[in-house]
Amino acid sequence: MTPAQQSLTDAIKRVLSVDERIESAWLGGSLGKGSGDEYSDVDVTVVARDVTFDEALKHYSGDTSAIAPVVFQQVIFGRVINSVTADWQRFDLSFVKPAEFAAMPLGIVKPLFNRGTPERAPSPVVPYKATAQRVLQLTNEFLRVIGLTHLGIGRGEYIALQAGTGLLRQMTLDLMFEKNGASQAMRGSALHVNAYLSPDQRRALEAVPPVSATREGVIAAGEALAAIFLPLAKNLARETGAEWPQAFEDATRTHLARSIGMTI
């Protein structure tokens, strides 16, 4: 934990610990697990007493200035106060009731203070495995999106095609996570990707050419992503017992080759 992260954590503890509406506070996320880095945000689960829960949530949703000068704040899912400070430190306060804390899936957390919340052991980690349903969902959507390339080229909609290529890249990344057994819960932050990819997977994605707003650029990037995605998807389909959408693949290959000379 960096000095700035420690200072922010200490400020959260100082403010919440003198508020009698709050029963306990727990440092979670990557910093709670001891695996954070200088870029990690401070994630705190706040257990508020039942009788004062709504009051406490409303108070901190509107004002966290006692913790730090905040330049941006939003409430997510009605319970998570997401904030950015003036020096661009980030912190989340996730409010739960005592019974909810007792029942919620819990990773490794460290108590900042505790006035009576029963401590809990981390929930057992259940290995994540790709399912046939998830593999087919990604495969069908990949084929559908890449099949629309001819439409965008025909209309000259190269900005839209750049966005579509971003979708293909994300689906390829998601498929790699499925292959590696890396669930969303395990990965956490969207900006924490490298640790859940193999060196070969990283090199493959990094080698995909940048998507220029041209016919040639869109086709080259799409072909490169298809060359990564489709073999991996077929392998995962075999492993999970998914029925490969051969007719859809064949139709898409033929359609793209005939309409725009694209090979997948």
Strand partners, 111: 26
Q: What is the pLDDT of residues 136-155, one digit of tens each?
A: 999 999 999 999 999 999 99
Side by side, which strands form the sheet with 42-48? 70-76, 80-85, 90-96, 42-48, 22-28, 110-114
**Tally of CA atoms within 13 A in the half-sphere of 169 that contains its CB:** 18
Which candidate, 147, 171, 173, 143, places its Cα nearest to that of 161? Answer: 147
Q: d(Cα 62, Cα 171) in Å, to the nearest integer?
A: 37
Give the model's pLDDT for residue 193.
87
Give the model's pLDDT for residue 192.
74
Residue 32 C-alpha from the chain's centroid: 18
Q: d(Cα 234, Cα 139) in Å, to the nearest integer?
A: 9
Give the model's pLDDT for residue 70.
96
142 residue type, one letter: F
End-to-end CA separation in angstroms for the chain: 46
The pTM for the full model equals 0.82
Query: CB-based contacts of 102: which residues, under 8 Å, 6+ apart?
Result: 118, 120
Q: Where is 71: in which H helix or E strand? A: strand 70-76
Give the model's pLDDT for residue 191.
63
For the chain, which residues score pLDDT lower than 50? Answer: none
